[in-house]
Amino acid sequence: MNVYESPWMDEDLRVFRETVSRFAETEMAPHDARWRAQHHVDRETWRRAGELGLLCLDIPAEYGGGGGDFRHECILYEETSRRGLSGFGQGVHSICAHYLLNHGTEAQKQRWLPRMASGELIGAIAMTEPGAGSDLQGIRTRAVAEGDGYLINGSKIFITNGAQASIIALVVRTDPNERKRGLSILMVETPGLAGYRVGRVLDKMGMASQDTAELFFENARVPADALLGPEPGRGMYQLMADLPYERAIIAIAGVAAMEGAVAETVKYVKERQAFGQTLASMQTIRFKLAEITTITRVARTFVDRCIEQVLEGKLDTETASMAKWWVTDMQQKVIDECVQLHGGYGYMNEYLVCRMFTDARVQRIYGGTNEIMKELISRSL
């Protein structure tokens, strides 16, 4: 079969892909089992990624970033997701950096982006609370303007990179009398912050190497210039502007995981013997491979178009929502077939498809659930 290559690839990006692939293969994959057992990626790996220039790839060089574009980011998501390296939350790190880039003041960009690019700071975005997930307008974490800063009280849950995060785009309620316009984003630098505490690293079905955590704020005080944007009350607007970017990243990781799982499964059924022949010589098995390969290619083609739209600055909410729900649903379906084709081995954590299967489940839940994606799409009809 012809090897498919995304239309946005070029020679420079091929060279860059090799660098990323080498990093994933030599500095991440050998540690993944240990990371899964300890429930976090080594802090050192973040610094190393920074040293190699693999963080904040599409942030301009004047802020310490890679000075590349979204294609560079995509390659990083693809090379990690294809290998089931789901603990390294560089997507969320980038999303946090983009809130700064898109909505921050010049001083905020200068203060935080270079340190995020070097891996000194690890980024997170904290929206979800025990009582508010899909319904972001129900956010209760309160930030009260006091003196020359804000006093924060409340808690967040399910925060990716939560335990290690040192710069958090924190969604807070600055006005209790307004629902939508009562929300703001504060950029909270956590090291040494009195009143800030990381709770449990949560015990999850999959993504065991990801330090998803609870965060607590008890009279935590941040300076006034932690506010993202020119005035309070713009949080919902900022979230709506940036969520398509986040949803594109989820879809890219999803399709890359499908590609990795399908490649692994093709290899497996060509080797595995049953009834005196390889599994791959049975037509029912070959038809299954044809089906999952087709679904994966269709998903890839759509995702590639979304990537082009991000590059053109034209990815709209509806298209990003379509990619997020459909690709992640297909990710689960395709990887489920891959597990089935591995038989009992597919149920064993030491097999890539097994880890990919449990990792995949959350893709339909976070970044806005797939039901919320359909709600967003249907509103536009």
Query: Applying CB under 6 A, does 365 fall inside the site for ligand FAD?
Result: yes
With beta carbons less than 8 A apart as the criterion, state whether 220 and 208 touch.
no
Cα separation of 27 and 32, whole Å? 9
- Minimal distance in Å, beta carbon 132 to ligand FAD? 7
Looking at beta carbons only, is 316 or 375 nearer to ligand FAD? 375
DSSP one-letter string for 174-242:
S-TT-SGGGEEEEEEE-TT-TTEEEEEEP--SS-TTS--EEEEEEEEEEEGGGBSSSSTT-HHHHHHHH
Which of 25, 51, 371, 379 touches ligand FAD by CB under 6 A? Answer: 371
Residue from the set 133, 229, 232, 346 that interacts with ligand FAD by CB under 6 A = 133
State the burial class of residue 124 (Cβ atoms within 10 Å of its Cβ: 0-12, 13-18, 19+): buried
Asked whether position 91 contacts ligand FAD by CB under 6 A, the answer is no
State which of residues 212, 293, 319, 331 lies at the interface with ligand FAD (CB under 6 A).
212
120 assigned to active site: no
Q: Which long-range contacts (C-beta less than 8 Å, at least 24 apart) are formed by 4-7?
A: 4/297, 4/300, 6/300, 6/304, 6/307, 7/304, 7/308
- Taking the complex as a whole, the smallest distance from the CB of residue 88 to ligand FAD amounts, in Å, to 14
- Nearer Cβ to ligand FAD, position 129 or 304? 129
Nearer to ligand FAD, 110 or 134 (CB): 134
Among 113, 159, 256, 330, binds ligand FAD (CB under 6 A): 159
Cβ atoms of 124 and 162 closer than 8 Å: yes
DSSP state at residue 2: P
Asked if 137 interacts with ligand FAD (CB under 6 A), we say no
Cβ closest to ligand FAD, residue 54 vs residue 213? 213
Q: Which of 121, 127, 226, 250 binds ligand FAD (CB under 6 A)?
A: 127
Is 196 an interacting residue with respect to ligand FAD (CB under 6 A)? no
Active site residues: 246
